């Protein structure tokens, strides 16, 4: 990449980061709340995209890790008085361990079997948690340890999570694993012939995604303050992730960012029409797949060659 261009990118990135840091000090409270949601959803979307868009692991079960993250926050910080941030981190670690435990079984399944297999795991967790006294059955846990945390503090937590997730994907795409992933995305048999270890690459992706999705679950429930099995492990988390990635553009880095912004703004706007938001989201998703299956970024890239966070190395 040309040096001038590189400097331009660094300056733009710095401006965006400074603007994001400035939000709590200059923006209104409602802007900050909206931005918090966008950042958390962005992290989830990036992880779903990492799996579905690159590794060919179309998962309908990422809500397992949202629930585990949220429940770890609830159980460890409320019942055991653990520090909130530590509890969230523990949740992410438990997510990875859980992912590792179920991966031998899940990775035997491919394609649609994997998608529904992972969904069945999440549904099984709903029933298991609803019958488990340790997590107070189906009636859920009020996370009173987070009530005194200020919205600004939650915003910064979400900011670190969101930027961290983008950074992880950004760096990954520039290492060997990123090359392997892009090869797998474009042509899996060719990638395997060139020596990509498909299974190990997929597993790495799955573990990274489970860690960050677990973190996102913790931060999300830091904001929500109450968790139940049916909400924590709800398929609607995956609906949101899928929606963001499809609208934004599957298999691109910018896609989930644009998708998260659109998703949060759209759902907030649709609050005015109770019960309509999911109906319209479903409709929009179907229409987008029909007319622009590559989403906004994919279509833009095809038409104009625009790439903002391109992982491609320059040839010049």
Specify the residue, 146 or 294, whose C-beta has the smaller distance to other proteins. Answer: 294
* Whole-number CA gyration radius for the chain: 19
Specify the residue, 88 or 281, whose C-beta has the smaller distance to other proteins. Answer: 281
- Closest separation between CB of residue 123 and other proteins, Å? 6
Closest CA to 267 of 256, 258, 250, 280: 280
Q: How far apart are alpha carbons 30 and 50 in whole angstroms?
A: 30
- Closest separation between CB of residue 63 and other proteins, Å? 12
Specify the DSSP class assigned to residue 60: S
- Closest separation between CB of residue 143 and other proteins, Å? 25
Two tokens, residue 79: 């019942």
Specify the residue, 20 or 235, whose C-beta has the smaller distance to other proteins. Answer: 235
Closest CA to 262 of 291, 240, 283: 240
Closest CA to 233 of 79, 82, 61, 33: 61
Closest CA to 96 of 176, 180, 169, 205: 205
In 174-197, where does DSSP find H-type helix?
176-186, 188-193
What sign for the dihedral angle of Cα 98, 163, 294, 6? negative
Tokens 């797949």, located at residue? 289
Q: Enumerate binding residues for other proteins (CB under 8 A).
A: 52, 58, 60, 104-106, 108-113, 115-117, 119-121, 123-124, 127-128, 130-131, 235, 239, 242, 246, 250, 275-276, 278-279, 281-283, 285-286, 289-290, 293
- Closest separation between CB of residue 279 and other proteins, Å? 5
Specify the residue, 151 or 282, whose C-beta has the smaller distance to other proteins. Answer: 282
- Closest separation between CB of residue 131 and other proteins, Å? 5
Q: How far apart are alpha carbons 311 and 133 in whole angstroms?
A: 48
- Closest separation between CB of residue 39 and other proteins, Å? 24
Q: How far apart are alpha carbons 97 and 223 in whole angstroms?
A: 25
Give the residues across from 142 on adjacent strands. Answer: 226
Specify the residue, 13 or 131, whose C-beta has the smaller distance to other proteins. Answer: 131
Is residue 92 within 8 A of residue 220, CB to CB? The reply is no
Specify the residue, 77 or 242, whose C-beta has the smaller distance to other proteins. Answer: 242
Specify the residue, 124 or 265, whose C-beta has the smaller distance to other proteins. Answer: 124
Specify the residue, 100 or 128, whose C-beta has the smaller distance to other proteins. Answer: 128
**Residue 60: Cβ within 10 Å count:** 22
- Closest separation between CB of residue 254 and other proteins, Å? 19
- Closest separation between CB of residue 243 and other proteins, Å? 9
Q: What are phi and psi of 141, to 5 degrees?
A: -125, 130
Closest CA to 49 of 281, 241, 294: 241
- Closest separation between CB of residue 64 and other proteins, Å? 12
Specify the residue, 239 or 308, whose C-beta has the smaller distance to other proteins. Answer: 239
């Amino acid at each position: 990449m040309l040096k001038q261009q590189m400097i331009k990118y660094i300056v733009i990135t710095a401006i965006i980061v400074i603007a994001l840091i400035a939000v709590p000090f200059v923006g209104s409270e409602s802007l900050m709340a909206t931005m918090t949601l966008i950042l958390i959803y962005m992290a989830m979307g990036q992880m779903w995209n990492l799996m579905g868009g690159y590794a060919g692991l179309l998962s309908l079960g990422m809500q397992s890790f949202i629930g585990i993250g949220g429940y770890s926050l609830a159980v460890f910080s409320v019942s055991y008085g653990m520090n909130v941030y530590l509890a969230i981190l523990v949740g992410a670690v438990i997510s990875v361990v859980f992912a590792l435990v179920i991966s031998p079984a899940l990775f035997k399944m491919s394609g649609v079997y994997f998608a529904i297999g992972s969904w069945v795991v999440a549904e099984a967790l709903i029933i298991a948690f609803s019958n488990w006294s340790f997590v107070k059955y189906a009636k859920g846990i009020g996370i009173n340890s987070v009530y005194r945390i200020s919205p600004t503090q939650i915003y910064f937590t979400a900011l670190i999570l969101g930027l961290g997730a983008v950074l992880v994907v950004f760096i990954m795409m520039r290492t060997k694993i990123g090359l392997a992933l892009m090869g797998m995305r474009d042509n899996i048999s060719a990638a395997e012939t060139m020596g990509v270890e498909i299974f190990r690459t997929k597993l790495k992706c799955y573990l990274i995604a489970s860690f960050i999705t677990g973190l996102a679950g913790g931060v999300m429930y830091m904001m929500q303050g109450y968790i139940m099995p049916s909400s924590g492990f709800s398929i609607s988390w995956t609906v949101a992730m899928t929606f963001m990635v499809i609208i934004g553009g599957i298999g691109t880095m910018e896609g989930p960012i644009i998708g998260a912004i659109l998703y949060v703004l759209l759902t907030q706007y649709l609050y005015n029409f109770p019960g309509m938001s999911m109906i319209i989201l479903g409709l929009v998703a179907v229409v987008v797949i029909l007319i622009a299956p590559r989403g906004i970024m994919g279509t833009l890239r095809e038409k104009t060659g625009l790439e903002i966070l391109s992982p491609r190395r320059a040839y010049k």
